[in-house]
A and B are shown apart, each in its own frame.
Chain A
Amino acid sequence: MAVERTIRHIKALATGAKYMLGGHRLTLMYPDDVQEFPDGYRGMIEYDWNTCIKCGLCAMVCPADAMKMYVSKEESEEGKRPVRRPGINYTRCIFCGFCVDICPTNSLKFTKVHDVAFYTFEEQIFPPEKFREGVPKPQYDKKPRRVRAILDERRGIRYEPVE
């Protein structure tokens, strides 16, 4: 019993030592390296102002209360009745994709941008007018290397540069 336990301790220490001496790391060195995402990736959401029929389904289905209907000022004044359009709050969004799936006119689309980092709280809320302008382009100090994540049997995750 005691011998068995001692052997297990030694095994645990050996495994730890093996990993410590092996040079492999899984860290993605963002923002020096930026990951290239596969198709179907759920990043920040794009909104098509023209095809939206203002049905409100996206706001209704959103489990995180991130998508909400806002009164769109100009249109409301023009039409003399309140017109509501969706806006998104990235402090709440969990990128579940329900809104994209439910939209009857495909007015919401995922992009491959996932750099959801902002300076202020307010910047993260996208009311309809801002939402329509598309996803903000991420800013990097210097041009990042684009990499792709590869699943490797032996090493777990590996990052390969893409041209």
Chain B
Amino acid sequence: MQDLLSLIFEPYVFVPLIFPGITVAFLLLLVIIWLERKMAAKVQLRYGPLYVLKPLGGAIQMVADLLRYLFQEPIIPKTVDKLAFILTPALLFGMAYLPTVAIPVSPTFYAFRSDLSLLIVLALSTLAPIFTVVMGWASNNKFSLIGGVREGYIVVSYEIPMFLSALSMAVLYGSLDLVDIAEAQKGLWGIFLNPVAAITMLVLMYMSTSKFPFEIPEAESEIVAGAYTEYSGILYGLVMGASYVKLYVLSLVFSILFLGGWNPVPGFMANDPLLPGVLLFIKAFIIIVIGAFLRAVYPRFRIDQAMDLGWKTLLPLSIISIFISLAEVMIMGGA
């Protein structure tokens, strides 16, 4: 028993399984979807979910929804490509959460430390959209196909600028190691050093996770549920959760790149992963909540408007942000 406990608190088990890994991601999922619906309801002068545990404003609505997804029969249409159809939700969800392994929790607590951890996170996070496209193709349904193709369009317009703005921070701190990057922000946070990169990355994060106003691949009122149209039961639960998990991962990266990661944390607590972990989570949570709030304010962009924004506005901005970083490095001789 003792051994088991100490094993769980080993970083290489704790990080993928508890925080920032699957457990916290899962709990977050239950909270954030409820919060998203609640916030949208408040903006629209409604109550939102209420009757599941009324004293807390329907806080466990998502638990009820999860139970429903679990016990609902997942219908697999006759004409789909069975293997791809069944495997993609699991792979999509898995790929969405996989990058958490490379995210450090504190200066000393991480599953593994690599000089390239920023690159690893970004590279792993790009794998998930492929499965959405596969899903669209495997479902053998025109709405799914359109959704998959839309996802493909969106991917090409957000991925390059998102990487450029993330990498501009790497240029600024002279490192691709997330631990180094966070430690370099003991004083001034990255968002103040390079606000252009921060804003670009923020918008692109929401774009990459289909938050409003970029909820284009799923566009309920146009193409049913996009690539997810044919899914039901727990398979649908997985694909729906995947984009939230991806947002969670990117928010963690965003907090480390721009919001100082676990800083400011008093020196004597830095070796204990608890406080840094909580700080990091709170920052990421705020970013996610902002993303959820957008739903209440924005309608959906047309696909050409979103691509327009990606290629004509955000790509130049992300290139500018690299130059800002370079200029700062030249002036200050490296932050």
Contacts and interface: CB of A to CB of B under 8 A. Distances in A.
A16 B39 CA distance: 10
Interface stretch (A18-26, A56-64, A89-97): A18-26
A12 B298 contact: yes
A20 B42 contact: yes
A2 B199 CA distance: 15
A139 interface: no
A161 interface: no
B46 A16 contact: no
A25 B42 CA distance: 7
A20 B44 CA distance: 8
A50 interface: no
Interface in A22-38: 24-27
B297 A27 contact: no
B48 to A, nearest CB: 10
A82 B121 CA distance: 81
A20 B46 contact: no
Contacts of B46: 25-27
Interface string A125-163: 000000000000000000000000000000010000000
Interface string B36-53: 000100111111000000
B47 A12 contact: no
Contacts, number: 31
A17 B40 CA distance: 10
Contacts of A20: 39, 42-43, 293, 296
B298 A19 contact: no
A16 B45 contact: no
A3 interface: no
Interface residues of A, number: 13
A19 to B, nearest CB: 5
A19 B293 contact: no
B43 A19 contact: yes
Contacts of B44: 19
B313 to A, nearest CB: 8
A15 interface: yes
Interface string B297-312: 1100000000000000
A123 B320 CA distance: 69
A27 B42 contact: no
Contacts of B43: 16, 19-20
Contact of B42 (A2, A19, A156): A19
A109 B297 CA distance: 44
Q: Is the interface of A mostly helix, strand, loop or mixed?
A: helix
Nearest to B38: A20
A83 to B, nearest CB: 48
Contacts of B313: 2
Nearest to A155: B45
Contacts of A17: 293
Nearest to B290: A13
Contacts of B47: 25, 27
A13 B296 CA distance: 9
Given A16-B293, A20-B39, A25 B298 contact: no
A13 B293 CA distance: 9
B321 to A, nearest CB: 16
Nearest to A14: B297
B45 A15 contact: no
Nearest to A2: B313
A26 B297 contact: no
B45 A26 contact: yes
Contacts of A25: 42, 45-47
Contacts of B45: 19, 24-27, 156
A12 B298 CA distance: 8
A16 B47 CA distance: 15
A20 B290 CA distance: 12
Interface string A27-57: 1000000000000000000000000000000
A25 B46 CA distance: 5
Interface of A: 2, 12-13, 15-17, 19-20, 24-27, 156
Given A16-B293, A20-B42, 16 more contacts: A13-B294, A16-B43, A19-B42, A19-B43, A19-B44, A19-B45, A20-B39, A20-B293, A20-B296, A24-B45, A25-B42, A25-B46, A25-B47, A26-B45, A27-B45, A156-B45
15 contacts: A2-B313, A12-B297, A12-B298, A13-B294, A15-B297, A16-B293, A16-B296, A19-B42, A20-B43, A25-B45, A25-B46, A25-B47, A27-B45, A27-B47, A156-B45
Top 5 nearest A-B pairs (CB, nearest first) are A16-B297, A26-B45, A19-B43, A20-B42, A20-B43
